[in-house]
């Protein structure tokens, strides 16, 4: 020891640099160990090599210090510094990658809900201290976290003496607020996104303001928190679009306008991809009694409700979800240097900030490399926008299905670009973008496990597109258009897309086959014509059998016996109002409501009997009333086979061209 310390300055410097080396080596080993299941053998060899080099440098430093070989000691110390610098550089990059993945991963066992007390902007109140003794609007559904549970907690926590007024729906509460019958209502904090696309409520963000917000963490049920499976087994992923002008997904609310379900089999490298139309009429898992509604409204209760809703109607388990902010897609595509897409038609669309005019995005038909704004515009487009652009850019037909196909093309183009990333600076830019724009319930280790899948696919697709190697099988949910009164919910007449049972079954079977849950069947014969172009088989597209919806007809002018006959066949209790004995002159439930939502109906009879020709079956001679319409998307025909009247809809007349909405999401 005396020999080591007799040259104090040399000893101190040697000790400092030895500690630096040991620290950098330990930090590197820690970070390398975090990369679970990635190149395990190489990581083990690397760790052993690092330890050996560190020990050799320390031993040499001690030897040269004891013999006081000044020059050799200096050389060893320089090597220590260089090696420690290399270790620090590697550790920094690994830590950045791991930190980004950890930020993207959300495996907490809690879901955060947020409710806000709002009022009209013309109201001078700015806080809870200014609301006086006015009534506060809440939902009558006591199970609603944002509409009832959080509001009652706020009232108790803030010692508010205000009475509450209950509403059947948020729309009813908003209508009361606009009419002035109540001055304050509780709604989800993301209410502008939830309701801003609905006709008549487009200005809700401009005309209202938040005066108080409260969040609440709710523990997920154990089944939801623990149902994910290893990446080495076939799994499903739900891709959910977040459309906002804010790049940070933490400040954006999921709106349910873009939904894709993928199944992936890592053993066969086969993939199915399904775009779900936003207006698909399905049972919503978190609505009372799983009342049917357009699937986009499941987003009102967050990703958990959407996930369970899709699981129920497709009869599959969703293993993972991924939320992607569309605004971040712009930056992602630009970072990758654009994506190569074959655009089927000339189009124009608003930019990522929802601006037209000089900010309008124009894309010409043909195979080309799209930049970020163009890729987002291509993914968003589902209207021809004739009022915004000249005929050159609006001469096409589009709808939600075509938009889904466009989004699939962008997803595949992104996959092909990822394999060509070889720059460290590009990787860092991608990580920064993903950390802000993506969120998933995959654990950090599960995300890291995707490396092995990506490596295998990338190696096999050196001379071809990665998307082609994955063998994307497109799936399609076919159905027909219908206007349905959202009875018991918003009570608005909304455009819906009613799915055919056979199409849903075909799609579900294809997914189960790819997941290995069902034995795949293959055609025994195959024929083709060399003179005819090949058309990709799209499972579910040609299925048109069966749907489970019957709409309530108009009873106006019909006899009571007719009403009793129809309602009796559908389990609806009939109440008669007034002392008349004639035909029906009014009904309490509007025509166009789903009979599944109607438990009872009150009809008023005229004073005199009006003679009508007898009918064997109920016939609705009027369209579904739509004096106040919702967020209907009219252009989503999706292979509709019904012309004017759908025989499965209780005789209710279905408009062939439902009115369009203003939602461009």
- The pLDDT of 148-172, averaged and rounded, is 92
| CB contact set of 195 (below 8 Å; sequence gap of 6+) | 170, 171, 174, 201, 204
- Residues 46 and 29: their CA atoms lie apart, in Å, by 9
* Geometric angle at alpha carbon 243, from 202 and 632, rounded to 5°: 45
pLDDT of 208 > 50? The answer is yes
pLDDT at 81: 94
pLDDT at 572: 96
| CB contact set of 543 (below 8 Å; sequence gap of 6+) | 478, 500, 502, 503, 505, 506
pLDDT at 529: 65
Mean pLDDT of the chain: 83
- The pLDDT of 518-530, averaged and rounded, is 67
The residue that leads in pLDDT, 655 or 311, is 311
pLDDT at 2: 58
pTM, 2 dp: 0.78
- The pLDDT of 484-498, averaged and rounded, is 89
Angle between helices 8-34 and 70-104 (to 10 degrees): 30
Other Cβ atoms less than 10 A from the Cβ of 1: the count is 7
pLDDT of 446 > 70? The answer is yes
pLDDT of 24 > 90? The answer is yes
Quickly state the pLDDT bin for 387 (edges 50, 70, 90): confident
For the chain, percent of residues with pLDDT exceeding 90 = 46
What DSSP designation does 149 have? I
Contact 328, 429 (CB under 8 A): no
- Residues 228 and 320: their CA atoms lie apart, in Å, by 7
Quickly state the pLDDT bin for 183 (edges 50, 70, 90): very high
- Which tens digit of pLDDT belongs to each residue from 327-385? 888 889 999 999 999 999 999 998 888 888 999 999 999 999 999 999 999 998 888 88
Quickly state the pLDDT bin for 244 (edges 50, 70, 90): low
pLDDT at 574: 95
Residue 225 exposure: Cα atoms within 13 Å on the Cβ side: 10
pLDDT at 223: 56
Distance from the Cα of residue 53 to its chain's centroid: 49
pLDDT at 476: 93
pLDDT at 642: 37
Beta bridge partners of 120: 208
Range from 187-196, 421-430, 611-620 carrying the lowest mean pLDDT: 611-620
Indicate the pairing of strand 584-587 with strand 600-605. Answer: antiparallel
* Geometric angle at alpha carbon 429, from 425 and 430, rounded to 5°: 115
Q: What are phi and psi of 512, to 5 degrees?
A: -65, -35
Q: Is 390 helix (H, G, I), strand (E, B) or coil?
A: coil
Contact 548, 576 (CB under 8 A): no
Angle between helices 303-314 and 501-514 (to 10 degrees): 100
pLDDT at 566: 96
Quickly state the pLDDT bin for 428 (edges 50, 70, 90): confident
pLDDT at 315: 96
Q: Is the dihedral of CA 364, 366, 372, 374 positive or negative?
A: positive
What DSSP designation does 252 have? -
Range from 328-332, 439-443, 611-615 carrying the lowest mean pLDDT: 611-615
- Name the region of 146 (left: φ>0; alpha: ψ -120 to 50; beta: rest): alpha
The residue that leads in pLDDT, 581 or 571, is 571
| CB contact set of 293 (below 8 Å; sequence gap of 6+) | 281, 282, 284, 287, 486, 489, 496
Highest averaged pLDDT of the listed ranges 106-120, 226-240, 476-490, 597-611? 476-490
Beta bridge partners of 604: 577, 586
Distance from the Cα of residue 406 to its chain's centroid: 16
The residue that leads in pLDDT, 97 or 654, is 97
Highest averaged pLDDT of the listed ranges 198-212, 425-439, 602-616? 198-212
pLDDT at 646: 38
pLDDT at 655: 36
pLDDT of 102 > 80? The answer is yes
Quickly state the pLDDT bin for 58 (edges 50, 70, 90): very high
Quickly state the pLDDT bin for 632 (edges 50, 70, 90): very low
- Residues 381 and 367: their CA atoms lie apart, in Å, by 17
- The pLDDT of 129-148, averaged and rounded, is 90
Domain made up of 110-222: CATH architecture: 3-Layer(aba) Sandwich (3.40)
Domain made up of 227-340+400-477+501-523+535-542: CATH architecture: 3-Layer(aba) Sandwich (3.40)
Q: Is 545 exposed, middle or buried (0-12, 13-18, 19+ CB in 10 A)?
A: exposed
The residue that leads in pLDDT, 403 or 247, is 403
Other Cβ atoms less than 10 A from the Cβ of 40: the count is 11
Residue ranges of E strands in 492-616: 493-499, 573-577, 584-587, 600-605
Where in the chain are all domains bearing CATH 3.40.190.10? 110-222
- Name the region of 581 (left: φ>0; alpha: ψ -120 to 50; beta: rest): alpha
- The pLDDT of 392-404, averaged and rounded, is 87
Indicate the pairing of strand 366-370 with strand 472-475. Answer: unpaired
* Geometric angle at alpha carbon 201, from 199 and 205, rounded to 5°: 145
Contact 145, 113 (CB under 8 A): yes
| CB contact set of 476 (below 8 Å; sequence gap of 6+) | 274, 401, 503, 507, 538, 539, 540, 541, 639
pLDDT at 496: 92
Q: Is 330 exposed, middle or buried (0-12, 13-18, 19+ CB in 10 A)?
A: buried
pLDDT of 270 > 60? The answer is yes
pLDDT at 167: 93
Whose structure tokens read 């110390």?
77
- Residues 289 and 263: their CA atoms lie apart, in Å, by 29
pLDDT at 485: 93
Where in the chain are all domains bearing CATH 3.40.630.190? 227-340+400-477+501-523+535-542
- Name the region of 459 (left: φ>0; alpha: ψ -120 to 50; beta: rest): alpha
The residue that leads in pLDDT, 185 or 547, is 185
The residue that leads in pLDDT, 105 or 526, is 105
Query: What is the secondary structure of 426-488 as a DSSP string?
Result: HHHHHHHHHHHHEEESS-HHHHHHHHHHHHHHHHHTTTS-HHHHTTEEEE---EEEEEEE-TT
pLDDT of 470 > 80? The answer is no
Strand ranges of the sheet holding 438-440, from the earlier edge strand across to the other edge: 438-440, 320-325, 235-242, 259-265, 270-275, 472-475
Quickly state the pLDDT bin for 108 (edges 50, 70, 90): low
Q: What are phi and psi of 330, to 5 degrees?
A: -60, -50
- Which tens digit of pLDDT belongs to each residue from 283-342? 999 888 899 999 998 887 777 889 999 999 999 999 998 888 888 888 899 999 999 999
């Amino acid at each position: 020891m005396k020999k080591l310390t007799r040259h104090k300055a040399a000893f101190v410097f040697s000790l400092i640099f030895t500690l630096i080396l040991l620290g950098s080596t330990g930090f590197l080993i820690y970070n390398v160990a975090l990369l679970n299941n990635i190149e395990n053998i190489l990581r083990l060899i690397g760790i052993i090599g690092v330890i050996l080099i560190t020990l050799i440098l320390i031993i040499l430093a001690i030897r040269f210090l004891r013999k006081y070989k000044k020059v050799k000691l200096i050389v060893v110390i320089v090597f220590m510094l260089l090696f420690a610098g290399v270790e620090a550089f590697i550790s920094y990059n690994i830590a950045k990658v791991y930190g980004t993945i950890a930020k993207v991963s959300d495996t907490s066992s809690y879901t955060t809900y947020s409710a806000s007390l709002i009022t009209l902007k013309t109201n001078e109140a700015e806080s809870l201290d200014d609301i006086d003794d006015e009534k506060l609007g809440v939902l009558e559904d006591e199970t609603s976290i944002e509409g009832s549970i959080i509001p009652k907690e706020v009232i108790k926590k803030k010692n508010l003496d205000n009475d509450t007024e209950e509403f059947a729906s948020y729309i009813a509460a908003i209508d009361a607020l606009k009419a002035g019958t109540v001055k304050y209502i509780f709604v989800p904090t993301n209410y502008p996104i939830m309701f801003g696309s609905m006709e008549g409520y487009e200005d809700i963000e401009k005309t209202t303001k938040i005066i108080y917000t409260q969040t609440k963490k709710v523990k997920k049920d154990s089944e939801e928190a623990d149902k994910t499976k290893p990446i080495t087994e076939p799994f499903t992923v739900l891709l959910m679009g977040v459309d906002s002008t804010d790049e940070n997904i933490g400040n954006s609310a999921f709106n349910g306008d873009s939904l894709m379900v993928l199944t992936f089999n890592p053993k066969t490298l086969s993939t199915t991809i399904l775009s779900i139309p936003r207006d698909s009429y399905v049972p919503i898992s978190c609505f009372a009694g799983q009342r049917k509604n357009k699937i986009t409204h499941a987003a009102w209760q967050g990703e958990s409700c959407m996930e369970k809703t899709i699981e129920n109607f497709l009869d599959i388990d969703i293993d993972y979800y991924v939320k992607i902010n569309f605004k971040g897609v712009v930056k992602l595509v630009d970072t990758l240097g654009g994506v190569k897409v074959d655009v089927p038609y000339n189009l124009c669309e608003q930019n990522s900030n929802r601006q037209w005019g000089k900010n309008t995005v124009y894309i010409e038909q043909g195979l080309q490399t799209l930049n970020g704004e163009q890729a987002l515009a291509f993914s968003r487009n589902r209207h021809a926008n004739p009022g915004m652009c000249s005929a050159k850019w609006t001469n096409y037909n589009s709808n939600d299905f075509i938009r889904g196909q466009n989004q699939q093309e962008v997803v595949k183009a992104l996959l092909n670009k990822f394999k060509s990333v070889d720059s460290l600076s590009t990787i860092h830019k991608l990580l920064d973008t993903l950390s802000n724009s993506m969120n998933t319930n995959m654990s950090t280790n599960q995300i890291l496990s995707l490396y092995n899948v990506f490596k295998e696919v990338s190696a096999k697709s050196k001379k071809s597109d990665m998307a082609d190697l994955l063998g994307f099988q497109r799936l399609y949910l076919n159905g027909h258009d219908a206007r349905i009164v959202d009875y018991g919910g918003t009570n608005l007449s909304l455009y819906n897309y009613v799915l055919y049972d056979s199409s849903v079954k075909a799609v579900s079977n294809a997914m189960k086959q790819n997941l290995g849950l069902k034995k795949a069947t293959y055609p025994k014969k195959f024929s083709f014509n060399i003179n005819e172009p090949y058309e990709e088989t799209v499972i579910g597209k040609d299925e048109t059998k069966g749907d489970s919806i019957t709409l309530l007809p108009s009873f106006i002018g019909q006899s009571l016996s007719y009403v009793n006959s129809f309602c009796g066949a559908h389990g609806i209790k009939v109440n008669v109002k007034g002392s008349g004995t004639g035909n029906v002159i009014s009904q309490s439930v509007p025509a166009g409501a789903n009979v599944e939502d109607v438990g009872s109906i009150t009809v008023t009879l005229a004073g005199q009997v009006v003679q009508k020709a007898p009918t064997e079956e109920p016939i609705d001679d009027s369209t579904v009333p739509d004096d106040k319409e919702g967020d209907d998307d009219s252009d989503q025909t999706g292979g509709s086979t019904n012309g004017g009247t759908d025989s499965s809809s209780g005789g209710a007349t279905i408009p062939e061209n439902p009115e369009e909405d203003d939602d461009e999401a």
